[in-house]
Structures are given as structure tokens and as C-alpha cells.
Amino acid sequence: MSKRGRPPFEDVLTPAEWRVCEGVRHGLTNPQIAKRMAISVDAVKYHVANATQKLGFSNRKQLRQWDGVRKSSALSGASAHANPSAMPGTIGQVSRSVADLRAAEQWYRDVLGLKPLYAFGNMSFFDCDGVRLFLCESARPTPESILYFRVDDIHAHCESLKNKGVEFISAPHLIHTHADGTEEWMAFFNDQEGRPLALMSTVAPDPA
């Protein structure tokens, strides 16, 4: 006789719990996560509670600092800590918050002549000769831009910077998976004056 219910997951968290966890690690609130996942806030709270319980955590802050990687991730099978002593690479992305995304898109495209890459939700991306400009619509735009440094091994670079006294706001976490399976990972920290910075890493799926 077959067992009822969902089949067990091989990973420590279910797919839904992983998606909520990534939202928490990105600093999103429960309502923001609920909106992105098209589920209720109560469902988000349920997944957060399950994730913290499974991982042995007692609060949301511990979940945000957890550097776990889901088994199905391209990063899970990538070579780890290839060069932990290497310095962060080139700037891969600069972000700016804007009050009106459509007006900003038109200005950066038609006035500055930047090449649009893609857009979804309240976010839009442009190419600046290899550096990506990330525009995000916000009800209260901030004048501070975020610099994203491109690295090969995001976990190794986080550990290297931590050893130098850098405190990370969030552990490395999956931001987006493109249609071809390529993953984008980020981790956020502050400079010596409290201004935001980030590491970013692009991980391609295993061709095999």
C-alpha cells in the first residue's frame, strides 16, 4: 500500500522553504516575500518557522546569517574555495533606487544610450560596457548606490573578509536563476563608514 502525502525531500529544506529562506537572507520582510512568491503572509511565517526549527535556529537573524546551499543548486556541485585569499574582482554591478522606474528606464536608455538587458517587477537592468546597472523602484529612494564586486567563489571570499574583521549583513544567498539555469549569488556587507557593499557571483549549471 502506497503512503499518502508528499514524497520526502532529500534536502534539509523543502523547495518552498528554500525560496522563503533566500528571501530572508536577502533582507526581505514577510509581506515582501509573500508578494514575490504569490502566497499568504501566514504561509511565509509557517515556512520560516519550519526552516528555523529544522536548522536548530532560535530566531530570524540566525537564518539570515546561515550560508547553506540547496542540493539542486549549481553552486552545490561547483568547486569550493578555489582561491580564498584572492581579492574581490572587478565591479560587476552598481544599483540605484529610483522613484519612477519607467521614467528612469527611458532616461538611461534614450538619453544616456545604455543597452537594456532585462526587467521584471520593480527592477530593470542595463549594460554599462560590461558593468551592470541595476535600477530598483522604491517609494523612498536612497541616494546611496551599492557597489557589487564580482568574485569566483563567493563563500571563500566571505570567509576571507570575515577573517579581516568584516561583518556581513547576510550570508551568500541565491538571488535569481536564469532560464538557462545560471544562478546569481550575492552577499551584503558594509564598509568602514557603514555604506553598503556586496559580493556577487555567477554560477553556470554543470554541462554534464
Top pLDDT among 82 and 10 is at 10
The H or E element that residue 84 is part of is none
How much is the pLDDT for 99?
92
For 9-57, how does the pLDDT look when each residue is reduced to its tens digit (9 = 90+)? Answer: 568 899 999 999 999 998 899 999 998 899 999 999 999 999 999 999 9
Q: Strand ranges (DSSP E) for 19-122?
A: 91-98, 115-120
Q: Is the pLDDT score of 78 beyond 70?
A: no
How much is the pLDDT for 84?
53
CATH code of 15-66, in short, is 1.10.10.10
pTM score of the predicted model: 0.75
15: CB partners within 8 A, 6+ apart: 9
Residue 189, all three cell numbers: 556587507
Q: What is the pLDDT averaged over residues 152-171?
A: 90
Q: Is the pLDDT score of 80 beyond 50?
A: no
- CATH class for domain 91-203? alpha beta
For 101-144, how does the pLDDT look when each residue is reduced to its tens digit (9 = 90+)? Answer: 999 999 999 998 999 999 988 899 999 989 999 999 988 888 78
Cα angle value 159/84/199 (rounded, 5°)? 60
The H or E element that residue 19 is part of is helix 15-25
Segments of the chain assigned to CATH 1.10.10.10:
15-66
What percent of the chain lies above the pLDDT cut of 90? Answer: 57
Determine how β-strand 196-203 pairs with β-strand 146-150. Answer: parallel
Segments of the chain assigned to CATH 3.10.180.10:
91-203
